[in-house]
Chains A and B, each alone.
Chain A
Amino acid sequence: MVAPAPENPIVAAIVGILAPILGPFTAQTAVKTFARKTLGREADTLVAADVPAFAESLRPLLRTFVGRDRAEVVILRIKREGQR
């Protein structure tokens, strides 16, 4: 089951970047899991200042599935979302 779309706009934007690559289920669960692991908080509390560290925490996941070069591109895109 895929969870409903997140209400936090930053989380929604990150899920929107990850979902076309990893699918909506993994995009949403990854955001939840890595927010807890990296920030020690729930994903819906994510603010712009958290995005760089959060994006970095996704590197092992992205590097495993799309390789080093593409992982950097996706991380950069997520970091840009934090600057908007």
Chain B
Amino acid sequence: MKYRVLAALPVVITAALYLVVHLVGDRAMGAEVLTRSVQSAKIAAGVGCIVAAFTFARGDYLRRAWLFAGVSSVLLARDIWLFPLGMETTFLGVTVEAINHVIVGIANVFGVAATVLMARAWQVGGIELPGSSMRKWMVVVAAIVVAFAIAGVPLVHDLANVAAGKKVPLINMISSGADIVSIALIAPVLLTVLAIRGGVLVWPWSLYMASMVAWLAYDAADVLSRSASFASHAASLGIVAELMRVLACGYLCVSGVAQRTSVLSVDLE
């Protein structure tokens, strides 16, 4: 029951947020509500991951994975304290914009490292994944195709601009690369979820996967909102993208809580 409540919570909060943004009516105020919600969701995700990390002892495999995910979420919440300073402000000759790029880059490295660790857990633990080799490869190939179809678009666009001699922030390409890796790694996480279904640990793993899928939806909405073909829907797609960010962070938070609850349910004697 408690896991079902955890699973429903991010959806309920995101749906409520959607209603609030529509009821507010005023576009600027709606954007402000969304910004504050995304910031809160990032902090909540960080807290959830840290809670999960400290469920494990020092040296435990998943402790590092959750710590990395938590550090990534907290770093991504840099807009709370960094953006109000103004992008052109300088510290020791470095602009806030440059500091922002460095922080986002580090957050992406930690985020990808966390996902890689989660995706490799089955291998480290020595469990078998369900399904024939053919089926497993099909899942992996499908995830890679989806990853390139969604996160590869902005990367190709940026690379074309670089080739044309235009200036493109390096951070954009790093973020796209991180998105491709993270989306592709949905495949091993999905197979791990299928392997452990029926056990209490399936909850944190499936909620973690839900977070990955929500990030995929965010990337898709973000790419579409910037596409000329969807220019007339850019505002709506922008709102969808922000809602998906809240959903992704919400699922990361509850997956951390579910990780702690499920591990602690194995009674110490």
Contact = CB atoms under 8 A, between A and B. Distances in A.
Interface of A: 1-2, 19-27, 29-30, 33-34, 60-70, 73-74, 76-77
A73 B196 contact: no
Interface residues of B, number: 29
B199 A22 contact: yes
B269 A22 contact: no
A69 B61 contact: no
A21 B201 contact: yes
Given A24-B198, A33-B128, A65-B196, 19 more contacts: A20-B199, A22-B127, A22-B199, A23-B197, A23-B199, A23-B202, A25-B196, A25-B197, A30-B127, A62-B125, A63-B60, A63-B61, A65-B125, A67-B62, A68-B60, A70-B266, A73-B267, A73-B269, A74-B266
A22 B56 contact: no
B198 A67 contact: no
B188 to A, nearest CB: 14
Contact of B121 (A65, A69, A70): A65
A29 B201 CA distance: 16
* Chain B binding surface SS class: loop
Contacts of B195: 23, 25-26, 29
B206 to A, nearest CB: 11
B266 A23 contact: no
A22 B121 CA distance: 13
B56 A20 contact: no
Contacts of B124: 60, 64
Contact of A65 (B62, B63, B268): B62
B192 to A, nearest CB: 9
Contacts of B80: none
Nearest to B194: A25
A42 to B, nearest CB: 16
Nearest to B196: A23
A26 B127 contact: yes
Contacts of B128: 26, 29-30, 33
Contact of A20 (B57, B62, B200): B200
B266 A66 contact: yes
Nearest to A74: B266
B211 interface: no
16 contacts: A2-B198, A21-B199, A23-B198, A26-B127, A26-B196, A27-B199, A30-B128, A61-B126, A64-B61, A64-B62, A65-B121, A66-B266, A68-B56, A69-B57, A73-B267, A77-B269
Nearest to A1: B130
